[in-house]
Homo-oligomer: A and B are copies of this chain.
Amino acid sequence: MAGRSGKSRSAVRAVQLAPGVAGSSRRVSRQPAPAKPETLADVGKAMVALGRQARAAAQELALAPTKAKNAALMAAAGEMRAQVAAILDANARDLAAVREHRATAAFLDRLTLDPKRVEAMAKGLEEVAALADPIGSVIARWSRPNGLTIERVRVPLGVIGIIYESRPNVTADAGALCLKSGNAAILRGGSESHNSSRAIQVCLARGLRAAGLPDAAIQLVPTTDREAVGLMLKGLDGAIDVIVPRGGKSLVARVQEEARVPVFAHLEGICHTYVDRSADLAMAKAIVVNAKMRRTGVCGATETLLVDAKAPAGHLPALIAALIEAGCEVRGDAAAQKANADVKRASEQDWSTEYLDAIISVKMVDGVDAALEHIRKYGSQHTDCIIANDEDTAERFLARLDSAIVLHNASTQFADGGEFGMGAEIGIATGRLHARGPVGVEQLTTFKYVVRGTGQVRPG
């Protein structure tokens, strides 16, 4: 595969796409803005060059010792703290441009940086530095009767393209996770956050250089042209191994529809909590309220509550009352409406809606098998939970449901790489291949087989 060759590296470097990174100025805001490609052909050429740089950097990074990668992360954190004024200045320019377009409050909140948020990003880099390095670890080792020893050794995936919305912090998070796992990152953030993302990426690139690693290991697409996304989804002439979209459903849907390279993503998290007849009511109330209301905007938030028709008569009203008391709007079937006068009638559409808001749909079902049937029909194979004291019922649910995460007697909001003990995560995947569930540094790797012999030839 010629695209994987390192041969043209120096030629590629001559087309450096982020001149600011190579500059000697210490003040981000004084650096020249990146040269923006003017035409579609320019965008295409620039993106292919960027892909080649990433591939060359990935080859170096794959062999980088843990110490160097951690040094780069620590140096980047220091750089971020030193450049806080420049980062906030860049962010102010982004915010000024956006306010003219009358953005929503939620959008502005995601886009806005302040000294505390910059510090949190720097801390995040340090936390990734503290994670175990997955690269080079021997996943399995065995010997064959003919004396061959076979090892399955963890290696980086290669080049990861991250396409995200206007959340500048993703630049730091995603860049750091790719670096730690030995992968080069091509970052394409939302156009409204371009100045902020660039100021952050400059800190990451400086960290890489300080540690003697190629700064092209973490690149930001220099144009806000939407065509650049299309080119990334086609893989940049084989330069991108995996795409990770981070953002809302429409972004993920576009990526899944158009991508010609593998994608780690979940389109939506229509998570269910089923309360079995054998559930403890107090536990069920605590879990259901937490699963829905702790944070309503996360993908692991429960969107539908299913209650066993054979549960004690008071359970359904008590669960609904607890949700309403916590500030949740409840939309339900006839049984739920009967249980509480404030319940609105759920439409067919409600059962397949990811509210990401303080709204829940509630349905009475005829036992665990009916719950499984409902979840199979309406769920998104993300995260689903059973609350039950009967072990056989719980095990039936856990075994028969084919979601990335299935839980027994715990909140669906635990669907998170940090809560799983993986450290930071780049997202949660509901696809069946390679990375499923939380995607942390280990999931950003692949493996190769290393076979050692003493002259063996194959008979026959």
Contacts and interface: CB of A to CB of B under 8 A. Distances in A.
Interface string A392-414: 00000011101111111111011
A283 B456 CA distance: 9
Q: Please state the number of chain copies in the assembly.
A: 2
Contacts of A114: none
Interface in A418-447: 419-421, 432-434, 436-437, 446-447
A416 B458 CA distance: 10
A358 B447 CA distance: 32
Given A1-B380, A377-B5, A448-B404, A409 B287 contact: no
Contacts of A4: 376, 381, 402
A15 to B, nearest CB: 20
Most B CB within 10 A of own CB, among A59, A376, A402? A402
B458 A290 contact: yes
A449 B433 contact: no
- Classify chain A: how many residues form its interface, as a range: 35 or more
Given A155-B402, A457-B411, A449 B434 contact: no
Given A421-B142, A432-B158, A447-B436, A409 B456 contact: yes
Find the residue from A148, A413, A416 having the highest chain B CB count within 10 A: A148
Among A280, A379, A421: residue with most chain B CB under 10 A:
A421
Interface of A: 1-2, 4-7, 59, 62-63, 142, 144, 148, 150, 155, 157-158, 241-242, 262, 280, 283, 286-287, 290-291, 294, 373, 376-377, 379-381, 398-400, 402-411, 413-414, 416, 419-421, 432-434, 436-437, 446-458, 460
